[in-house]
Amino acid sequence: MALRNCTLLSKRAINFFSRAKPEIISHPCRLLHTEFAKVTQVQQGGSPRFIGVSSGFLNSGCSFSRRGFATALAEGTDQQHSGKTKQEDASVDAAWPNEAWSDVAKEIFHQLNAGTENGDWKRHPGYLRTGERRLYSRNISEQGKGFEYAIFLNKKEQRATCVCQFGPYLQGPPGHVHGGALATMLDAVIGTCVHDALEGFWLTANLNINYKKPVPLGSTALFHAKVVRQDGRKGYLSAYVTSADGQTTLCEATSLFIKLSREQIEKANKHLPQDSQSNTTAK
């Protein structure tokens, strides 16, 4: 049976849809919720089954596949457990596709997110905070205007992959992304990679970038970073950026990160707000 004409319902999925309220279920999960009454009586056991349903709601303009279902189900479950929707939360995990993401960016996200199912990869949360202090790469609250991205990490392989869509507020040359915006994302992806792969708290010592091609505004790019080696408190990393299809190299980079000593961390903590100090705990 074609995947687009059926849906995989397991005991977990049925339990979720039977308890969840429509307003906390994200699209495309909400599409399934509206059709759930048609199939809820068919599957009562715990074994997954393919259940034939009308393909109309599966073909309603969204790319719906097993990985998309897994992503939407996890997102809806997280919201249900938190007891509040994203709109009600002061700190929103922005490392999920929103309405401003292009179909290309969403498809890449779902492909990367599917890699988290076996435990080798994990998605790095990215919080959009509304307070006075904000992460530089997530300081624009209006969807689609700045950086729209999600980072995925593989600790065993010491690698990171990021899908990023560049909004109109990141313009440099007319119609293209500012080189500093690309540098920001390179530093963010490389920095996230080194903090996940190596113990301790690391800061950028240098970042060398070779720009290969201009990047159009509104386009989606893929960032790849990996740890090359560690030499004491020095961490050497490399990275490159490609077009969404992986066929064009947009820029390449190498970077040196320095691991802070316990004394340096304690000194830095004296100048940080109390709620920020947990992020710089020495390991």
Residues labelled as active-site residues? 187
Strand-pairing partners, residue 222, are: 163, 242
Give the whole-angstrom CA distance, residue 201 versus residue 261: 8
Angle of helix 11-19 relative to helix 66-82, nearest 10 degrees, comes to: 50
- CA distances to 139, 174, 215 from 177, rounded to whole Å, are 17, 8, 5
Sequence letter at residue 13: A
Among candidate residues 137, 128, 26, 11, the one with its CA nearest the CA of residue 75: 26
H or E element that contains 182: helix 179-197
Q: Sort residue 249 into left (φ over 0), alpha (ψ -120 to 50) or beta.
A: beta
Strand-pairing partners, residue 272, are: none
Give the whole-angstrom CA distance, residue 75 versus residue 98: 12
- For residues 55-71, one letter each, b for 16 or more C-beta atoms within 10 angstroms of the residue's C-beta and e for the rest, the string is eebbeeeeebbebbbbb
**Token digits of residue 159:** 């690698």
- CA distances to 23, 43, 78, 90, 125 from 131, rounded to whole Å, are 26, 46, 23, 9, 18
